[in-house]
Copies of this chain bind each other. A is one copy, B any other.
């Protein structure tokens, strides 16, 4: 479904250039759930933006559903690291934005219903008419999550979607996300800083090295689904894999330097 071929990204700034990504080769299958981990600043968000077609790679090729990516696609949804809500729109109307944009006005009523369902799911029922600045950080993130789910996309790119949520909400929502993925046969690329979350959710965990972000290892997770965060049945397996991933991330710390600082 998603194919990355020797992809690299270099940012040129006034204070020098930064090599964010280098030589990424990755193939994500249809209906696969891939989680992406790596140290802060290693290029995870950049990688998602490349796949989404928001940024042309400095070199290498990106393809989604067999077509080279040159612009964003309707069937790919992107949940950004920051909530990015439109300040003048109420919660409900922010969630409805993708529907409006793709002109789903015929089924508007159906979608409004779905929006209400999603908002209830994330615990935001009763807040439909509020403006974003009246919400807490985590509430904003949940609105953004609902927005990325409303259009039932084929591919979902999610950049730390649960970072501002409490443990409990996180557990509930990660279970929900697995359910949705199975139901819709969605392909998901999911960035997280929680190793446990990465393991519990993923079919494969992709580990990036710090600057420049290169593939360090791709770990297959063979635990049967559904899996649950927190008190789950496969505690030892998860702990084992987590320890391994932890060790991977801890490698080569000394290299966390921008290119120009060398």
Q: What residues of chain A have their CB less than 8 Å away from a CB belonging to chain B?
A: 11, 13-15, 18, 37-41, 44-45, 81-82, 90, 123, 125-127, 129-131, 134-139, 141-142, 160, 163-170, 193-195, 230-231, 243, 246, 249-250, 256-258, 260-261
A17 to B111, CA, bound (A): 28
Interface centre among A81, A166, A231, A250 (most CB of B within 10 A): A166
Instruction: State whether A127 touches B258 (Cβ < 8 A).
Output: yes
Contacts of A260 in B (CB 8 A): 126
A159 to B37, CA, bound (A): 24
Instruction: State whether A130 touches B15 (Cβ < 8 A).
Output: yes
A187 to B98, CA, bound (A): 45
A164 to B18, CA, bound (A): 21
Minimum CB–CB distance from A112 to chain B (whole Å) comes to: 17
Contact of A258 among B126, B170, B230 (CB under 8 A): B126
Instruction: State whether A39 touches B137 (Cβ < 8 A).
Output: no
A163 and B163 in contact, given A126-B260, A136-B41 (Cβ under 8 angstroms): yes
Minimum CB–CB distance from A19 to chain B (whole Å) comes to: 13
Instruction: State whether A38 touches B249 (Cβ < 8 A).
Output: no
Instruction: State whether A166 touches B38 (Cβ < 8 A).
Output: yes
Contacts of A137 in B (CB 8 A): 40, 45, 81-82, 160
Contacts of A142 in B (CB 8 A): 40
A80 to B131, CA, bound (A): 20
Instruction: State whether A250 touches B139 (Cβ < 8 A).
Output: no
A193 to B229, CA, bound (A): 14
Nearest B residue to A250, CB-CB: B168
Minimum CB–CB distance from A127 to chain B (whole Å) comes to: 6
What are 11 A-B contacts with C-beta separation under 8 Å? A14-B131, A37-B166, A38-B166, A40-B169, A41-B123, A126-B257, A163-B164, A165-B193, A167-B249, A170-B193, A231-B243
Apart from the given pairs A15-B129, A81-B137, A125-B261, 19 other A-B contacts in the complex at a CB distance below 8 Å: A13-B134, A15-B90, A15-B130, A39-B169, A40-B123, A40-B138, A40-B164, A41-B136, A41-B138, A45-B137, A123-B256, A126-B258, A126-B261, A163-B164, A166-B249, A167-B193, A167-B249, A168-B249, A170-B193
Nearest B residue to A82, CB-CB: B137
